[in-house]
A and B are shown apart, each in its own frame.
Chain A
Amino acid sequence: MIRDVTLGRFLEGDGVLYKLDPRTKLMGLLLYIVSLFVFKTWLGFTLTLVFFLVLRKLSKISFRYMLKGLKPVFFIILFATILNVILGQSDWTKTLFTLWRMIGAVFASNLLTLTTRPREISDGLEKGLSFLSIIHFPVHELATIISLAFRFIPILTEEAGRVIDAQKSRGSKIGEGKIVDKAKSIMPIIIPLFISAFRRSDELALAMDSRLYGSGKRSVWKKMEYSKIDIYGYMVSVLMLALMIIDRCVL
């Protein structure tokens, strides 16, 4: 199951979403998530759902692959939904809306990472947050950390898979038994994974030092440029949010 994690993975493709500038996609994601938490009626629910389905179609990523992305957060969503019901949310419509808000946010985030290379996301963030450098916020460092974190997701999930296989081959019953047993069996995976991650990060830091990272002013090889399609991207995202505000305030 660990190898099925799609979060943070980039998938080669040629859908329309791939052609958008990362800044447009980041802003679009932000506005979409806000829209998800703004709508109040069935109309808003339907619009956000249709909007997501259209985006999915434009990305040309299979719905089955998107569903895989829900696996790691399935229990969190389930837990939140149960809490919602227990804490007096007797209105099933609202529970369904809450459920969709969480699933929609995960789906939309997945769409971003599946159609955008980690480096593009970090470059987009760096550019988008560049105004923070006025207050000496380390924007570039933050963007690099995010980019590296994304890059190492597939490597560490592979490694987790190997650790699980190794522990299973030594008789460990990972993922078997009751929930408490399942939780306990995670420890023999987590510890070696952490040790490995620390070793990797140490070597990565040395390699980056060797390649003169942080030794002076950096230049950027690939310049980000908006195209016509980005204007449509911004317009649609803003329109979606505007409609959701109307949905909340007027309807």
Chain B
Amino acid sequence: MADIVLDNCFYSYSNSLEEKVLSGVSLRVEAGSFISVIGPNGSGKSTLAKLLNGLYIPSSGIVEVDGLSTREKKNIPQIRRKVALLFQNPDNQIVGDTVEDDTAFGPENLGLDRDEITKRVEDSLSKVGLLEKRKMSPNTLSGGEKARLGIAGVLALNPEVLVLDEATAMLDPEGRKEVMAILQDLWKYQGKTIILITHHPEETIYGERIVVLDKGEIKLDGSVAEVYRKSETLKKLGLELPPYVELSLLLKEKGVIDDIAFDSSSLCPLLESKI
């Protein structure tokens, strides 16, 4: 299983290191974990995502996936097999004319034989619930289904890590729920590592750890509870809190409960203990 290590990474889009997008980012992502990365616009979240599978190479510092450095060109195909990246707009990453053709694109690039490709296409599409729509054109799918197709496309590469760069940003609440349910399943039952870059605070509670980026630096890094206990810092950065956290903070302020909650299952016991 692939651990990802970023050590003192700097990244700049221009040659000058003065306009840094990432500034001394060090991070360790253990295999099998679910990490959410949040931060204001321009904080470097998408750049961080692209560093993880070697699409971008850090201006200085090291990114290693399972011990393989992204600086070594020969490691890149291997790294990309391990770390799959999903972008925001599903329309911009669909290559095939049908759902199944698009899913087969990755395995074809791996040079796999026909039987193996068929197996991977069927497995991936059934994992995201699109097997019945395999012959349909991607243009006829809903936003949520297109996002699921994107996930199927990268799952067919059989990656160990899934990085989602605001992949739910363009979806309606129903579509977001569908995607989050799939991510939960992939993380809990299939052992995949999930790195979710998001603007929706309510999605972060599905994971176990939150990394907060601002101006290219890591401002907070800890468990969901640890990060949301520092709600003042988040608010200073202009970040929203999940609705349950917001509510429980208000209740805590009024002395109704003693701790913060992330969902109904954690709020109810807190209230019950006080009644």
| Chain A CB within 8 A of B113 CB | yes
On whether the beta carbons of B112 and A219 are closer than 8 Å, the reply is yes
On whether the beta carbons of A211 and B91 are closer than 8 Å, the reply is no
Contact of A221 among B118, B139, B157 (CB under 8 A): B118
On whether the beta carbons of B95 and A210 are closer than 8 Å, the reply is no
Contact of B110 among A151, A212, A222 (CB under 8 A): A212
Contact of A212 among B77, B101, B104 (CB under 8 A): B77
Interfacial residues of chain A within 196-231, with CB under 8 A of chain B in the complex: 200, 203-204, 206-223
| Chain A CB within 8 A of B97 CB | yes
| Chain B CB within 8 A of A25 CB | no
On whether the beta carbons of A221 and B117 are closer than 8 Å, the reply is yes
Residues on A with beta carbons closer than 8 Å to the beta carbon of B89:
200, 203
On whether the beta carbons of A210 and B55 are closer than 8 Å, the reply is yes
On whether the beta carbons of B80 and A212 are closer than 8 Å, the reply is yes
On whether the beta carbons of A117 and B87 are closer than 8 Å, the reply is no
On whether the beta carbons of B117 and A219 are closer than 8 Å, the reply is yes
On whether the beta carbons of B80 and A210 are closer than 8 Å, the reply is yes
Interface residues on A, range: 20 to 34
On whether the beta carbons of A118 and B107 are closer than 8 Å, the reply is no
On whether the beta carbons of A210 and B84 are closer than 8 Å, the reply is yes
On whether the beta carbons of B77 and A203 are closer than 8 Å, the reply is no
What's the least CB distance linking B76 to chain A, in Å? 8
A150, closest chain B residue (CB): B97
Interface residues on B, range: 35 or more
Residues on B with beta carbons closer than 8 Å to the beta carbon of A210:
53, 55, 80, 84-85, 154
What's the least CB distance linking B42 to chain A, in Å? 17
B176-218 toward A: CB 8 Å interface, digit per residue (1/0)? 0000000000000000000000000000000000000000000
On whether the beta carbons of A151 and B108 are closer than 8 Å, the reply is no
On whether the beta carbons of A219 and B114 are closer than 8 Å, the reply is yes
Known contacts A117-B97, A200-B92, A212-B81; decide if A219 and B139 are in contact (CB<8 Å): no
Interfacial residues of chain A within 1-22, with CB under 8 A of chain B in the complex: 10, 12
| Chain A CB within 8 A of B39 CB | no
| Chain B CB within 8 A of A154 CB | yes
Residues on A with beta carbons closer than 8 Å to the beta carbon of B118:
221
B80, closest chain A residue (CB): A212
On whether the beta carbons of A207 and B106 are closer than 8 Å, the reply is no
On whether the beta carbons of A119 and B96 are closer than 8 Å, the reply is yes
B110, closest chain A residue (CB): A212
On whether the beta carbons of A211 and B77 are closer than 8 Å, the reply is no
Known contacts A155-B91, A217-B111; decide if A206 and B105 are in contact (CB<8 Å): no
A201, closest chain B residue (CB): B92
On whether the beta carbons of B80 and A219 are closer than 8 Å, the reply is no
Residues on A with beta carbons closer than 8 Å to the beta carbon of B95:
148, 151, 204, 207-208, 211
Interfacial residues of chain A within 221-250, with CB under 8 A of chain B in the complex: 221-223
Residues on B with beta carbons closer than 8 Å to the beta carbon of A12:
137
Complex CA distance for A215 and B113, rounded to whole angstroms? 16
A210, closest chain B residue (CB): B85
On whether the beta carbons of A212 and B112 are closer than 8 Å, the reply is no
B237-258 toward A: CB 8 Å interface, digit per residue (1/0)? 0000000000000000000000
| Chain A CB within 8 A of B12 CB | no
On whether the beta carbons of B137 and A203 are closer than 8 Å, the reply is no
Complex CA distance for A207 and B98, rounded to whole angstroms? 17
Known contacts A219-B114, A221-B107; decide if A207 and B80 are in contact (CB<8 Å): no
What's the least CB distance linking B90 to chain A, in Å? 10
On whether the beta carbons of A212 and B106 are closer than 8 Å, the reply is yes
A215, closest chain B residue (CB): B77
The interface of chain A, by Cβ under 8 A from chain B, is 10, 12, 117-120, 147-148, 151, 154-155, 200, 203-204, 206-223
The interface of chain B, by Cβ under 8 A from chain A, is 50, 53, 55, 76-77, 80-81, 84-85, 87-89, 91-98, 101, 104-114, 117-118, 121, 137, 139, 153-154, 157
A and B contact pairs by CB, cutoff 8 A, 6 listed: A151-B94, A154-B139, A207-B95, A212-B109, A212-B157, A217-B111
